Each structure stands twice: as C-alpha cells, then as structure tokens.
Amino acid sequence: MRLVQILIPTGKRDAVLGVLAEEGIDYVLTDETSGREFTAVVTFPVPTNALEPVLEELRNVGINDDGYTVVVDANTVISSQFDELEEKYAEEEDEDRIAREELTSKANDLAPSMSNYALMTIISAIIATAGLLLDSPAVVVGSMVIAPLIGPAMTANVGTVVDDHEMFIQGVKLQAVGLGLAVASATVFALLVRYANVIPPLADVTTVGQIRERVAPDFLSLIVALGAGAAGVVSLTSGVSTALVGVMIAVALIPPAATVGIGIAWGQPLVSLGSAVLLLVNVLSINLAVLVGLWYQGYRPEHWFQESNARSATVKRIGVLVLSILVLSAFLGGVTFDSYQQATTESDIRDAIQGSVDSPARVLTVEIEYTNTAIFQQPRRVIVTVGLPPDAEQPLLVDQLDALADDAAGRDVATEVRYVTVERNG
C-alpha cells in the first residue's frame, strides 16, 4: 500500500476532495499557509494497485507536475473503509502492479551515476576474467553479484513505453558504455595475466571449461536471456527487489564480455566471435523481453496524445530487436546443429567400433579427438583401447577400425589402436 501527499492548487480543492470521496478514500486535509499558489495538502492511503487510476483521476481535475506529489510505502493501515477499498481494486486491477509514476522513478533509481556504473562494471569484468581463467564457477558468480547492468536495460525500455526519449537514450548509452568497458577491461586484464605469467602457460583457452561454455552458444542461451529479461520486468513492475534478477541479467552479459576480451588477448578470433555473438544475442533478448513485458502490462505515457508516439516507437524497436536476434540466431542455429551432429557422429563411431571387434578381444574405450578450433570442430583422431586375455594374439584391427571411423565421421580421420592385457576373473 502507498501513502500519498499532494499539494492542491488554488481553486482545485473541491474537485480533488470530490475525487477522493467518490473513490471512497479517507484523507487528511491540512491548510497550506506558505502564501504560494497552493491552498492545502491532502494525505491519504491507497492500495498499491489503486495508485495509478487514482492519480489519473486527480490529473484530470487539475493536479499536475507544478506541485508536489509524494508517494511513500505504508506498512499498515487499520481502517474498515480501507479494507473495502482494497477489495474494490483487487477485483479491478492487478494487485502487485505498481503505478506508472513509481515505475519511472524506480527505473531512474536503477540507473547509477556514470562514474559508479563504469567503476563497478570494470571491477565486475576483471573478476569475471580471473574466474574464467581460473576455471572457477564461484569467482565467476561473484563477479555477477556486483555488476550494475540491470538498471540500463530497464531504463531504456521504460523510456520507450512512457515516451520519455531522454530516459531511453540514457539507458541505451549506459548499456553500450557498460558492455564496451567490460570487454576493454577484460582484454587489458587478460593481456596482463598472459604476458606477466600470472597463470601457467595456456596455449588454447578453449581447454578451460568455463571459457569453452561461452564460446559455442546454442539456442538455450537465448532462452536464458529472455527469461532474465522477463524476470526483470516482473520484479520491476511488482515493486520487489531487483537484486537477484540483476544477478541473472549479469549472468547473461558479464562472462561473455569477459570471454571476448580473453579471446582478443590470446589472439583467438573464433573465441571472441562466438562469445561476442552470445553477448549481442543476450543483450538484445533481455531488452526485447523487458520491452514486450512492459507494454503487455499496460504501461503507457501520462498523456493520451503521447500514446501514439509510444506505440509507434515500441513497435519499431521490437521489430529491430526481433530482426537482429533472428540474424544472430543463424549462428546459434549453426552451433546447435553442429553440437547435435557432433554428438550423433560420436555415437555412430562408438557403435560401429564396439560392434566390429570379435571375442576374445573387446573394446574398452573409444576416445575421439577434435580439430583445434573454438567452434564447428571436426573429429580428427580416434583412439581405441582394446582388451585382450594374457594368452591371446593381437588381431590386426587398425585398417578395419579406421575404415569404420572414416565412414561414420564422413571424413578421413586417423585411427590408433592400443592393446592392453586384461585378466579375466573366475
């Protein structure tokens, strides 16, 4: 629930009190004695979901931005009339939905000053880079906690639906600056780590599990980003804490940005390419989910004549976001198909080799090595370990297994067969 205080302009007292009486709202009226163009201060409690329609009615009778309208949280209101008011609006409005005025205020509060935003983003990116290079999930998660990236995404899209161009520009600018700083700081830190020998020599960064996860994104990455954006809308419009959702949004942005920097520092363009696509898809998907969610929940500009502009801007920006995501999704689709094809090829190679070796020999393991590329890897060598009884003669299996591996892989792969002696129990 909310406690509202409004300065009533001279000549508007009866109209304001008439609106409150019609809505069944209890109020306290205090005369304004400062000698300005206001006659009184009215204070009244309202349910959270009643705030926006009540303020709309008050604007219609002359309450505008020339005076003060102060809205604060109220913990408890003890009144039978207030209970009736809650029941009335529970039937008409979403109980958790905050007013447009609160939405814009909260979105502005989420956008920090440029200096603090830049500093926290740089620190977060450096910690994420260290966590990726150390292959430490705990450190990577820690970097996300301090990343201030939820604010700009919310600010830009709230600015769109309420037709506040300045808010939109601020949000877009902060997002661009933040991601640029994250990549740049990750690159500088990764270069320092590499050439100062802070960690053991690392010829191929894709051998590190935490980095490899961000190099070949698939369609599930898109779902994660859309989910993070949708959760951001719910937390913002319901008035609950956005801290945990901010971590989720940082999950989709900070590690990929750090991976781009690591790829640049190690001179591996495919690493940077894959993670850059993931970063762009994530930031676009988050913005799309936020924008669609805000418009779906019915947030519109304060004045009706602005609604057409807001609708046009929203539709255009949704179109741009969807088109951009579809273009980048071609890469995600390629990676997803390649992952499926790779898994299928592995299974075919193993099945073909397992079924081709006759007793007393038996296949113990089939190891498949891939080309040294960050994405779209191809099998290049198959290592088969064959177990034999102590007194058995080694069969000549190399040519046979090589032909089977080549056929299953659809390309020429090297095949190596290793024989080990296996003692049979009993």
Environment class of 251 (CB within 10 Å of its CB; exposed 0-12, middle 13-18, buried 19+): buried
CB atoms within 10 A of CB 284: 21
pLDDT reading at 122 higher than 90: yes
Same domain, yes or no: 171 and 222: yes
> How many residues make up the chain in this entry?
426
Neighbours of 92 (CB within 10 A): 9
Q: Is residue 334 part of a domain?
A: no
- Same domain, residue pair 289 and 153: yes
Residue 306 lies in a domain: no
Residue 242 covered by a domain: yes
Q: Which of 252, 136, 141, 128 is nearest to 185 (CA)?
A: 128
Q: Looking at the structure, do residues 24 and 161 belong to the same domain, yes or no?
A: no
Do 65 and 132 have their domain in common? no
In 3D space, the residue among 312, 149, 134 whose CA is nearest the CA of residue 209 turns out to be 134
Are 206 and 116 found together in one domain?
A: yes
Higher pLDDT, 177 or 107: 177
**403 and 289 belong to one structural domain:** no
Q: Which of 76, 94, 112 is the last residue of a domain?
A: 94
- The token pair at 241 is 């804490």
Residue 320 lies in a domain: no
Final residue in a domain of this structure, among 74, 94, 114:
94
115 & 82 share domain: no
Q: What is the pTM of this model?
A: 0.72
Q: Which band of pLDDT confidence, cut at 50, 70 and 90, is reported for residue 202?
A: confident
Q: How many domains does the chain have?
A: 3
Question: Can you name the residues that pair with 104 across neighbouring β-strands?
Answer: none
- Residues 72 and 167 grouped into a single domain: no
- The answer on 90 and 105 residing in a single domain is no
pLDDT tens-place string over residues 213-233? 888 777 777 888 888 888 888
Same-domain status, 138 and 217: yes
Domain that holds residue 387: 340-419
Residue 372 maps to which CATH number? 3.30.300
Interatomic CA distance for residues 422 and 426, integer angstroms: 13
* pLDDT tens-place string over residues 47-56: 877 887 888 8
Looking at per-residue confidence, does 309 or 371 come out higher? 309
β-strand partners of 71:
4
- 124 and 71 in a common domain: no
Q: What is the DSSP letter of 206?
A: G
Condensed to tens digits (0 to 9), the pLDDT of residues 11-26 reads 888 888 888 888 888 8
For residue range 39-77, list pLDDT tens digits in order. 888 888 888 778 878 888 888 887 877 778 888 877 777
Q: Of 220 and 314, which is predicted with more confidence?
A: 314
**Bridge partners, 7 (sequence order):** 41
Q: What is the mean pLDDT of the chain?
A: 83
Element (H, E) at 36: none
Residues 139 and 247 placed together within one structural domain of the fold: yes
